[in-house]
Amino acid sequence: MKLQELTRPWAAFNYGFLDESAKREIRRRILKAIAVPGYQVPYASREVPMARGWGTGGLQVSLTILKPDAVVKVIDQGTDDSVNACSIRKFFGRVGGVIETEDTQGATIIQSRHRIPEEKLRDDQVLVLQVPDPEPLRTVQSDMPVAREMHGDADYGQLWLILYEQLVKSGRIMQYTEYPSLVNGRHVISPSPIPRWDVLKLNKADHLTILSAGREKRIYAVPPHTRVEPLVFDDVPYRVEDHQDKTCYRTNVTGFFMNELPQDDGSAKFELSDSHFGVKHMRKAEGEPVAIGDTWYKNGKMNR
Amino acid sequence: MTALNLAAATQITRQPPHLMLAEPMLTMCGISKNFGGVKALSDVDATVYPGEVLGIVGESGSGKSTLLRMMNLEDTPEAGSYHLALPGRENSNLFSLDRFERRSLRAEHIGIVYQNPHLGLLMGHTSSGNVAERLLIAGKRNFAELRERARQSLDASEFPVERMDATPRELSGGMQQRVQLAKAIALEPAVLLLDEPTTGLDVSVQALVLDTLKRLQRDHAITMVLVSHDLGVIRTMADRVMVMRRGNVVEQGLADQIFQDPQHAYTQQLVHAKL
């Protein structure tokens, strides 16, 4: 007798892995997060078949808003083909019966870590960002109850102070990722580990962005058409990474966020960080009829 | 001619002290505060006139620090009112302000120097940054201006400007107090509160810090409230003195009066203990 014969045949416990009460809770938290842009809403982060820190927060949000006709794209550091991205995408296909895609234009739900796609998102698309540390004040205040009070008071002087000291010590802002940004003129968020290049894409965007931290159990959101302003001094303009004049060695495309590939001789090659955006360019160069969507950056400049 | 002069002179001496002719800058009325069963302050009144230094003396537990915390709007009493002569705020009891207003008022109009620099400074940040933070809280967003004003303020408190980007952790106690002072006066506060500013410093450094305070007071006519248990400090700095004991004001008057001719038994004890 085998163990298998004694048990019932395998069936999904519930659609989209999470049980309905869990999804309902997360849905309500998301609604609250949208109602108060940038405010970190606590939620009961559930167990998912993945270790904390690998995107469990984003996964739970995506599972909650999943439906069978959803088209899901998962990005990890800009690419669709890393192990983590593939595993998460397949998981959505298995528990939700969704269509898996690598195409930004075709997706309805985009779960991402570290990047926002180069092609503009539409108002029918949702961007879910996995967040390791949602608290922008953690660097200045290790006591979280006090940090929450500081959010309540809009007491962000110390975040400015960090930028001030970076300017004093280095002559420029050294904050690379998680650039503190003021949402809707009220709450400062840490916009997950996206580079400075991508923070501008959140401002007055057409799409909804939901940020979720699984380990820290916080959801916050940037609703469509909401102001997101990186903290900057009046006389020191916001500066994105200097990738404007870098050219991708594979596609010969210039003016987008690049991955730097150090070479043996000490030089560096660059390739497009948004991998499927690069794939599209390559296909187009080979003569395939590929539609490349409108991009946020044009000629290396943010399109306003 | 001589008679007339004499008459004018006697008239002047009969008038109340010059400083007290102006409208008071700070008025506190009927302040009462209990901590559990302990009466920390009972029905205390305090008035500070523009440009004067009010010294508050008393033993540990007399309520002088609690009173100063009230003045800094860190705490609210069970009863009493608090007014500062600020444009647009003349008639509002500051204790009835909400959290937000209280914070912005404290940031813009009240400066404080604590005995313990850890309370007033961010030890891991640069000294100029500590001063700049106060300007940032008040909404200043121009980097060049922040830098310049931080430098000016540190210079005014006689801090060596070439060390303005050192962290307070690397500085001596006296220098830390100067950074606190620079931070407190950065926005030209209506009232500067000093909570035992020189306690814990050695005598020579104490003298230098007091010297700076004195010069600042003379040059900018800053209104100050100085809390100390050290009668020497009070004697050097204060125009008027308030003696507190067990949550009550037992005696107040001009500094010279208090020191030369103490009326209350406790004050007599205090002055004689010193002398």
pLDDT band at B36 (very low <50, low <70, confident <90, very high): confident
Residues of A in contact with B134 (CB under 8 A): 157
Indicate the residue of A155, A168, A234 with minimum beta-carbon distance to B126. Answer: A168
CA distance A93 to A68: 9
Q: How many CB pairs under 8 A join A and B?
A: 47
CA distance A40 to A85: 25
- Check residue A286 and give its pLDDT: 92
CA distance A275 to A79: 5
Is A238 within 8 Å of chain B by CB? no
Indicate the residue of A161, A169, A233 with minimum beta-carbon distance to B141. Answer: A233
Q: Å from B199 to nearest chain A CA?
A: 28
- Check residue B89 and give its pLDDT: 83
Question: Under an 8 A CB cutoff, do B122 and A236 touch?
Answer: no
Question: Under an 8 A CB cutoff, do A168 and B129 touch?
Answer: yes
DSSP state of B23: P
CA distance B272 to B178: 32
DSSP state of B102: H
One-letter amino acid at A35 equals A
- For chain B, first and last CA: distance in Å? 44
CA distances to A91, B21, B100, B103, B135 from B108, in Å: 55, 26, 12, 9, 9
Residue the block writes with tokens 């500066």: A239
Q: Strand, helix or coil at B111?
A: strand
Question: Under an 8 A CB cutoff, do B122 and A234 touch?
Answer: no
Provide the chain A residues 67-126 that lie in CB contact (below 8 A) with chain B.
Answer: none
Average pLDDT over residues B140-154: 92
For residue A149, count CB atoms less than 10 angstroms from its CB and return exposed for 0-12, middle for 13-18, buried for 19 or more. middle
HEC profile of chain A: CCHHHHCCCCCCCCCCCCCHHHHHHHHHHHHHHHHCCCCCEECCCCCCCCCCCCCHHHHHHHHHCCCCCCEEEEEECCECCCHHHHHHHHHHHHHHCCEECCCCCCCCEEEEECCCCCECCCCCCEEEEECCCCCHHHHCCCCHHHHHHHHHCCCCHHHHHHHHHHHHHHCCCCCCECCCEEECCCEEECCCCCEHHHHHHHCCCCCEEEEEECCCCEEEEECCCCCEEECCCCCCCCCCCCCCCCECCCCCCECCCEEEEECCCCCEEEEECCHHHHHHHHHHHCCCCCCCCCECEECCEECC
User: Smallest Cα–Cα separation from B18: which of B263, B254, B273?
Assistant: B254
- Indicate whether B16 pLDDT > 90: no
Question: Under an 8 A CB cutoff, do A165 and B129 touch?
Answer: yes
Residue the block writes with tokens 């108060």: A36
Q: What residue of B is the nearest CA neighbor of A165?
A: B129
- Mean pLDDT, chain B, integer: 86
- Indicate whether B10 pLDDT > 80: no
CA distance A201 to B2: 84
CA distances to A56, A75, B49 from A81, in Å: 19, 8, 72
- For chain A, first and last CA: distance in Å? 68
Residues of B in contact with A233 (CB under 8 A): 141-143, 146
| Domain definitions of chain A by residue range | 20-230
Instruction: Quick: pLDDT tens for B173-221.
Output: 888 999 999 999 998 898 999 998 888 888 888 888 899 998 888 888 8
User: Smallest Cα–Cα separation from B214: which of B55, B49, B22?
Assistant: B55
- Check residue A76 and give its pLDDT: 93
Low-confidence ranges of chain A (pLDDT < 50): none
Is A153 within 8 Å of chain B by CB? yes
CA distance B97 to A235: 34
CA distances to A17, A78, A268, B55 from A82, in Å: 23, 9, 22, 69
A210: which residues sit within 8 A by CB, 6+ positions away? A30, A33, A61, A126, A127, A128, A129, A219, A220, A221
User: Smallest Cα–Cα separation from A217: which of A20, A91, A29?
Assistant: A29
- Check residue B19 and give its pLDDT: 62
Q: Å from A181 to nearest chain B CA?
A: 15
CA distance A281 to A289: 11
> CATH class for domain A20-230?
alpha beta
Residues of B in contact with A167 (CB under 8 A): 143
CA distance B253 to B228: 16
Model confidence, pTM: 0.85
Instruction: Quick: pLDDT tens for B222-265.
Output: 899 999 888 888 988 999 999 998 888 998 889 888 888 888 88
CA dihedral defined by A110, A116, A120, A126, rounded to 10 degrees? 30
- Check residue B267 and give its pLDDT: 87
DSSP state of B217: H
Q: What residue of B is the nearest CA neighbor of A169?
A: B165
- Check residue B18 and give its pLDDT: 61
Q: Å from A150 to nearest chain B CA?
A: 11
Is A142 within 8 Å of chain B by CB? no
Q: Strand, helix or coil at B179?
A: helix
ipTM of the modeled complex: 0.81
Two tokens at A42? Answer: 């606590």
Are B221 and B201 in contact by the 8 Å Cβ rule? The answer is no
Average pLDDT over residues B27-47: 89
Q: Å from B101 to nearest chain A CA?
A: 10
Residue the block writes with tokens 């020497």: B232
Residue the block writes with tokens 């010590």: A169
Strands (DSSP E) contained in chain B are 26-35, 38-48, 53-58, 79-84, 110-113, 191-195, 224-227, 240-245, 248-254
pLDDT band at B12 (very low <50, low <70, confident <90, very high): very low
Question: Under an 8 A CB cutoff, do B126 and A234 touch?
Answer: no
Q: Strand, helix or coil at B74?
A: coil
pLDDT band at B9 (very low <50, low <70, confident <90, very high): very low
Domains and CATH numbers, chain B: 20-274 (3.40.50.300)
Is A234 within 8 Å of chain B by CB? yes
Q: Find which of A155, A164, A188, A238 to mutate to test the B interface (most B CBs within 10 Å of its CB).
A: A164
- Check residue B129 and give its pLDDT: 93
Q: Strand, helix or coil at B184?
A: helix
The more confident residue out of A230 and B273 is A230
For residue A248, count CB atoms less than 10 angstroms from its CB and return exposed for 0-12, middle for 13-18, buried for 19 or more. buried
